[in-house]
Amino acid sequence: MKAWTPVPQVVGIIGLGKLGSALGLKLRDRGFRVLGSVKSPKSRERLTKMGFEVHLDNNVVVSKSDVVILSVKPYNVEEISVKTEKPLISFVAGVPLSKLSAFSNRPFRAMTNVALTTIAVTGPYDEQIDGLLKAISPRVIWVDEKLIDPLTVVLGSGPALVAKLLDSFVRASVDIGVPWDIAKEVADELFRYVPLLMRQRSPEELVEMIATPGGTTIKALVEMAEIERVMASAFEGAMARLVPKR
């Protein structure tokens, strides 16, 4: 068996789907050699054209890699039949370290999203793994495993939820007479720059600064009072669906 090198240079990805290929492209751009596995010859052909070394056998990927990334759907985990002493980083939602230990004696759980904005990871802190993940995203946070499931909802579902909020903002703007193109431009700028303002002020301070008594902003905020309940309900629903996957 090939020994794991101190600085992993060859990364094998089991499951080159949307997230797996996004991880692979990022690592390849940072100078890593990336290979991966898929289930169908058609997917293999498509990903080969993207420049990946692709195999249909997961064990071939493991044997050629210094570190392994697992990025399959939760319902496909039962089909995985690999065993290695190399580090294995799983981006599979809802699968605990205790189960991942069947594949590797050095398992790590991680979660991010297709935008690769932040990576949350759990497992014994490892400098090489930290460095590898920082090649994917500059923001890597090591957390207790109990936080990975909630962060799966926040990080994994986050882009879709924010996209839905932005779309709702655009549609509401159009409803009061703003043309579609202008509504989209204004919404994009607001969703881009308001988070920058919130680095300097809390949400409460920002609201108090803008919402004058009896004004249009405070009226809009009163009408939006239900949004906190709806957001909490959305997160709770997502968590309830995630946990049974174990």
Same domain, 60 and 130: yes
- The number of domains in the chain is 2
Same domain, 128 and 201: no
| Residue 227 marked in a binding site | no
Same domain, 218 and 129: no
| pLDDT value, residue 139 | 94
| Residue 210 marked in a binding site | no
| Residue 15 marked in a binding site | yes
| Residue 18 marked in a binding site | yes
| Residue 105 marked in a binding site | no
| Residue 146 marked in a binding site | no
| Domain endpoint, select from 116, 143, 170 | 143
pLDDT at residue 106 greater than cutoff 60: yes
| pLDDT value, residue 242 | 86
DSSP one-letter string for the chain: -PPPPSS--EEEEE--SHHHHHHHHHHHHTT-EEEEE-S-HHHHHHHHHTT-EEES-HHHHHHH-SEEEE---GGGGGG----BSS-EEE--TT--HHHHTTTBSSEEEEE--TT---EEEESS--HHHHHHHHTT-S-EEE--GGGHHHHIIIIIHHHHHHHHHHHHHHHHHHHTT--HHHHHHHHHHHHHHHHHHTTTS-HHHHHHHH--TTSHHHHHHHHTTTHHHHHHHHHHHHHHHHGGG-
| Residue 58 marked in a binding site | yes
Same domain, 17 and 135: yes
| Domain endpoint, select from 89, 114, 143 | 143
**pLDDT tens-digit map of 32-88:** 999 999 999 999 999 999 889 999 999 999 999 999 999 999 889 988 889 999 999
